[in-house]
């Protein structure tokens, strides 16, 4: 992960060398060398990114498999009163659906977070060397974006938990129905249980829609990025930075 992030941060340096030494100074021999350097960096980043993805996803699968095994053993040791108050379908939903969500967080979620953190720190350091004013502007605007994300994120987390409870309830109704399908059909209760299941599904949909409404608020928070882009374009157009810095400013901050 560290090597892949370092290779991604090294790309602007390779572009700088191509612009400075290759195009501006018209040194064709060095230009070929720098293009080979760029190709090597891209290859290195691709290989280690693929390796990082495999290892992190393998780790996520291993953790989820252990969680499912431990959870199953724990459920087998529960008191009979637990199974009287909790339907079989809900228990199965917790054992399968909820652990799948844990897998997505432990696997891809943590990998992307760590990679983004490394790229953020490295990009800020390199950008501070290139343009200190732009770095200061980012550090001022970033808290204005992060704080609302934290507030809305907590609301979305609560709604996601409620949505999982609704899905577990629907699974419980379905499991209860299928386990006693002969009794249900003998008493002509198909419509009753169908309406009950539909009500549970609609409740889950309403919760998901409420969650999506809160997620919609995340998109306007990217508006301050326009200030950074505007600042970058104005500096490039007015030639406030030298030519080699133009190539780097196209990468930082992204």
Instruction: State how far the alpha carbon of 94 is from the alpha carbons of 204, 240, 242, in Å.
Output: 16, 58, 58
Domain range summary for the chain, segments of one domain joined by + = 2-249
CA distance 254 to 248: 11
How do the pLDDT tens digits run along the chain, 254 residues long? 788 878 778 877 777 777 776 666 666 677 777 788 888 888 888 888 888 888 888 888 888 888 888 888 888 888 888 877 777 777 877 777 777 777 777 777 777 788 888 888 888 888 788 778 777 877 887 777 778 777 777 877 788 778 777 877 787 788 778 778 887 788 888 888 888 888 888 888 888 888 777 666 665 555 555 555 555 555 555 544 444 444 444 444 44
The answer to whether the predicted template modeling score (pTM) of the entire model surpasses 0.85 is no
Asked if 217 contacts 197 with a C-beta cutoff of 8 angstroms, the reply is no
CA distance 41 to 37: 6
Whose CA is closest to 98, among 37, 49, 187, 164? Answer: 164
- For residue 17, what are the contacts with CB-CB under 8 A and spacing of at least 6? 30, 34, 37
Superfamily of domain 2-249: ABC transporter type 1, transmembrane domain (1.20.1560.10)
Number of Cα atoms under 13 Å in the Cβ half of residue 225: 9
């Amino acid at each position: 992960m560290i090597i892949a992030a370092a290779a991604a941060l090294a790309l602007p340096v390779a572009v700088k060398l191509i612009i400075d030494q290759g195009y501006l100074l018209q040194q064709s021999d060095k230009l070929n060398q720098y293009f080979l350097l760029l190709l090597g960096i891209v290859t290195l980043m691709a290989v280690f990114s693929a390796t990082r993805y495999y290892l992190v996803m393998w780790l996520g699968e291993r953790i989820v498999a252990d969680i499912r095994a431990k959870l199953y053993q724990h459920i087998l040791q529960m008191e009979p009163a637990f199974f009287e108050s909790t339907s079989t379908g809900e228990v199965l939903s917790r054992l399968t659906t909820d652990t799948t969500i844990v897998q997505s967080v432990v696997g891809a979620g943590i990998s992307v977070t760590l990679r983004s953190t490394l790229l953020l720190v490295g990009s800020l350091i390199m950008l501070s060397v290139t343009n200190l004013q732009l770095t200061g502007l980012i550090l001022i605007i970033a808290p204005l974006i992060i704080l609302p994300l934290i507030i809305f994120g907590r609301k979305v987390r609560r709604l996601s938990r409620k949505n999982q409870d609704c899905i577990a309830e629907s699974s419980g109704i379905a499991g209860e129905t299928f386990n006693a399908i002969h009794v249900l059909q003998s008493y002509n209760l198909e419509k009753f249980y169908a309406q009950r299941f539909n009500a549970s599904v609609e409740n889950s949909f309403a919760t998901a829609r409420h969650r999506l409404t809160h997620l919609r608020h995340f998109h306007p928070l990217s508006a301050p990025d326009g200030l950074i882009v505007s600042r970058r374009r104005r500096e490039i157009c007015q030639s406030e930075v030298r030519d080699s810095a133009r190539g780097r400013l196209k990468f930082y901050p992204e």
